[in-house]
């Protein structure tokens, strides 16, 4: 009986530390998401207003990288193109629902690495949602190419953050397995 009471005390003592870590992960995660959102919007603002990319169509920065004006009315690779106002708002609603899901997951996440990956996804998604709300499309501008070969579609900071975040989540899920404690014989 005393052993059970000692275990209860040990668990209670460990809980505040665990909840402090979750709280720190939340602050870090939502702060990173906000930073990604701000960076995405700042770069898009510069591309549109300072570089006047819409009027210039493209600006070569390096032999393999250029800024290219692409208003993205769909999601990725031409899927779910919003060719009407109803489709646009359905796309906004769908991406907003995914962002809410990611926010809840981030709020509950205990692992810092997963919280950071989720933050990248959330920040990028929110930047793209704001574009759809304000403009009706997402401003894409980054074009990486090797001569005539373009391994990627034209993208933006938000898209890159989403991609990196999803890849980090997949790598951790597929390559790292948390070991379960062996079952005790009773």
Residue numbers annotated as active site: 140, 159
CB 124 within 8 A of CB 161: yes
Q: What six digits make up the tokens of 39?
A: 């960076």
Per-residue tokens: 31: 């702060």
The C-alpha angle 25, 31, 37, rounded to 5 degrees, equals 135
CA nearest 38: which of 135, 157, 132, 176? Answer: 157
- Strand 138-144 to strand 65-72: parallel, antiparallel, or no bridges (unpaired)? antiparallel
| Residue 103 CB coordination number (10 Å) | 19
Strand pairing category for 65-72 and 58-62 = antiparallel
Structure token digits, residue 34? 């906000």
Contacts of 39 (CB under 8 A, 6+ apart): 157
């Amino acid at each position: 009986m005393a052993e059970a009471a000692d275990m209860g005390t040990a668990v209670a003592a460990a809980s505040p530390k665990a909840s402090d870590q979750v709280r720190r992960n939340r602050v870090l995660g939502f702060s990173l998401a906000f930073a990604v959102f701000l960076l995405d919007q700042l770069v898009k603002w510069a591309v549109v207003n300072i570089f006047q990319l819409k009027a210039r169509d493209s600006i070569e920065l390096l032999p393999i990288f250029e800024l290219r004006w692409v208003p993205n009315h769909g999601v990725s690779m031409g899927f779910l193109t919003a060719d009407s106002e109803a489709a646009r708002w359905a796309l906004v609603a769908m991406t907003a629902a995914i962002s809410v899901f990611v926010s809840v997951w981030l709020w509950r996440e205990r692992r810092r690495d997963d919280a950071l990956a989720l933050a990248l996804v959330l920040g990028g998604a929110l930047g793209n949602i704001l574009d759809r709300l304000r403009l009706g499309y997402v401003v894409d501008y980054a074009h990486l190419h090797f001569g005539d070969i373009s391994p990627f579609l034209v993208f933006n900071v938000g898209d890159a953050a989403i991609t990196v975040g999803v890849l980090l989540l997949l790598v951790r899920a597929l390559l790292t397995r948390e070991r379960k404690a062996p079952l005790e014989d009773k």
